[in-house]
Amino acid sequence: MEILKEITKEVFERYVPAAKMPERNTSVYGRMTAMLEESYSVLIAELVSPAFEGAIASGTELKDKCLRVVCNDAFLRTARSLDLVLTATGFGIVSTESTAPASRARVDALIEQITINKLFTIGDIIALLTQTEGWGATAQASKAIPNLFYRLQHLRELTSLTTTTQNWQLAIGRAATADILLRSEISEEYMEELLQKERTATLENADIIIVRMCREFMGNYISFFDEAPNKPAIQRIVEQMETYSSSYPTYQNSRLYHKRHGERYHNQKEDPTFFFM
């Protein structure tokens, strides 16, 4: 946890501007020590993986993103128990009996804003980790990228939903259903290959085309969940793979492909029974 020594009051307030206090006032930062340690431990255990903790120290951009998430998460874990008060420079802690805490609405809005910032940053961290050799084979990588719609950026760019934590939770569930639909069209084998390539930043040009089309379908499905799935979008994906099947060998060798292209039975003159298919 050497990296935690870099989270000074100045660093913490840079990543959580709402907690900025005058130089000698450490009211918020002073309450963060234990939570910073906990947030860092969770980040390593659930996202980075203990085996790749060293990658944080060696990567300037990755370290910056991880420090931001740790500070955001620590503040979020503590915010509701701090009796926050809105000051001229940010949110401080109530220090006198004559000062009332900030309204619940203001605190809720602050927590929502910081949570959204944290989720966007986690998406950036995942993107950087996929470029770290070996990380894509970890359990953390599988958890971070369970399907092709795994970053908050996807919600903002590919759906008509507003970017809120509530809509993100909604999108996660709908994306899982959309993933099942896509697997039935592009094959289980090829979807698993795409996810593994996504986790290791090794997508080839032909794969990138399919990933883009799949994400667009998922975004549409999430946006219009109560309506029928976008069949033309699915058809375009299948047509792309069928037209250029040699570029998609995993699909070409899948059970789904053979089912689609299996030779149909032809009745013979000597057959005792004729089959109509």
Q: Residue 216's closest CA among 232, 198, 192, 195? A: 232
Name every residue whose Cβ is closer than 8 Å to that of residue 147 and which is 6 or more positions away in sequence: 175, 176, 178, 179, 195, 218
Identify the sign of the CA torsion 254, 245, 220, 168: positive
Collect all residues with Cβ–Cβ distance below 8 Å to 267 and sequence separation of at least 6: 274, 275
Statement to judge: residues 188 and 227 lie in one domain: yes
Q: How many beta carbons lie within 10 A of that of residue 16, not counting itself? A: 24
- Residue 24, in any domain of the structure: yes
User: What tens-digit pLDDT sequence spans the chain (277 residues)?
Assistant: 678 889 998 999 899 887 776 555 556 787 788 889 999 999 999 999 999 999 998 778 999 999 999 999 998 988 765 654 444 445 444 444 444 444 567 778 888 999 999 999 999 999 999 999 999 999 999 999 999 999 999 999 999 999 999 999 999 999 999 999 999 999 999 999 999 999 999 999 999 999 999 999 999 999 999 899 999 999 999 999 999 999 999 999 999 999 999 855 455 556 555 444 4
Q: Is residue 231 part of a domain?
A: yes
Contact 254, 193 (CB under 8 A): no
In this structure, are 150 and 251 located in the same domain? yes
User: Residues 140, 166: one domain?
Assistant: no
Does 56 reside within a domain?
Answer: yes
Amino acid 26: pLDDT: 58
**Same-domain status, 126 and 181:** no
Q: Are 129 and 240 within one domain?
A: no
- For residue 268, being part of any structural domain is answered with no
Q: Looking at the structure, do residues 172 and 240 belong to the same domain, yes or no?
A: yes
CA atoms within 13 A on the CB side of 94: 15
Task: Please give the pLDDT value at position 81.
Answer: 58
Domain boundary among 144, 169, 193: 144
Domain shared by 194 and 237, yes or no? yes
Is the domain of 5 the same as that of 53? yes
CB atoms within 10 A of CB 37: 14
Residue 108, pLDDT score = 81
Query: How many domains does the chain fold into?
Result: 2
**Does residue 250 belong to any structural domain of this protein?**
yes
- Identify the pLDDT of residue 88: 45
User: Among the three residues 98, 124, 144, which one is the final residue of a domain in this structure?
Assistant: 144
Would 273 be classed as within a structural domain?
A: no
Range of the domain at 50: 1-144
| Pairing of β 84-86 and β 91-93 | antiparallel
Query: What torsion do the CA atoms of 25, 27, 29, 34 make, to the nearest 10 degrees?
Result: 150
Q: Is the same domain home to 165 and 152?
A: yes
Is residue 82 in a domain? yes
The pLDDT assigned to 265 comes to 46
In angstroms, the CA 268 to CA 274 distance is: 8
Looking at the structure, do residues 170 and 209 belong to the same domain, yes or no?
Answer: yes
Residue 52 lies in a domain: yes
Q: What is the pLDDT of residue 86?
A: 44
Alpha carbons 218 and 72: distance in angstroms, whole number: 29
Count the residues in the chain.
Answer: 277
The answer on 2 and 131 residing in a single domain is yes
pTM recorded for the entire structure: 0.86
Residues 5 and 131 in one domain: yes
